[in-house]
Amino acid sequence: MTPELVEFKQLGDDRGNLIAVESGRSVPFTIERAYYIYNTADGVERGFHAHKALTQVAVAVAGSCDMILDDGNAEVSVPMDSPGKGVLIAPGVWHYMKSFSPDCVLLVFADAHYDESDYIRDYGEFKQWLKER
Ligand code: TYD
């Protein structure tokens, strides 16, 4: 599968960098929730789920990690290595994250509030859900 990247404009000058994220503009949806993953222990891989309806954009605002996306046909690994580079996590895409640097802060914007019933946390169930969709 081909990942959809979201480029955040870097508004840096000689004082340093600045990036603004605007709901519905720099991300293609209304932001209802943001969360961040940080202090990830060495060797941890996390995620391993898909969402039925939720759309998200993830960006490593510090450090780096890899975002693996899987649409049920093919897997792609996206290096999250720049505060200017976001990746879209569409509904129906199995994803997990790995290779976190100790300083990694992964910021995620989502188009809905947290809802556990929107998660598919079993890969077999995910494949079945894709078939029935
Ligand atoms: P979880 O989605 O399991 O993390 P992972 O990215 O590894 O799949 O989230 C960990 C815990 O945090 C879980 O108990 C659900 C809770 N949580 C919230 O309450 N709100 C949120 O917005 C998120 C993302 C998670």
Q: What is the pLDDT of residues 94-114, one digit of tens each?
A: 999 999 999 999 999 999 999
Average pLDDT over residues 24-51: 98
**Dist CA 65 CA 106 (whole Å):** 8
Which atom, in ligand 1's list, is nearest to the CA of 35? 22
Cα 8 to ligand 1 centre (Å)? 25
Residue among 106, 38, 94 at smallest CA distance from 66: 106
CA distance 68 to 104: 16
The pLDDT, as a whole number, for residue 1 is 94
Rounded Cα distance, 66 and 70, in Å: 13
pLDDT value of position 100: 98
**What is the pLDDT at residue 18?**
97
Single-letter amino acid code for the residue at 74 = A
Strand ranges, E, within 54-131:
56-62, 65-70, 75-80, 85-89, 94-98, 105-110, 119-120
Q: What is the pLDDT of residues 39-92, one digit of tens each?
A: 999 999 999 999 999 999 999 999 999 999 999 999 999 999 999 999 999 999
pTM listed for this prediction? 0.97
Which ligand 1 atom is at minimum distance from the Cα of 113?
A: 22
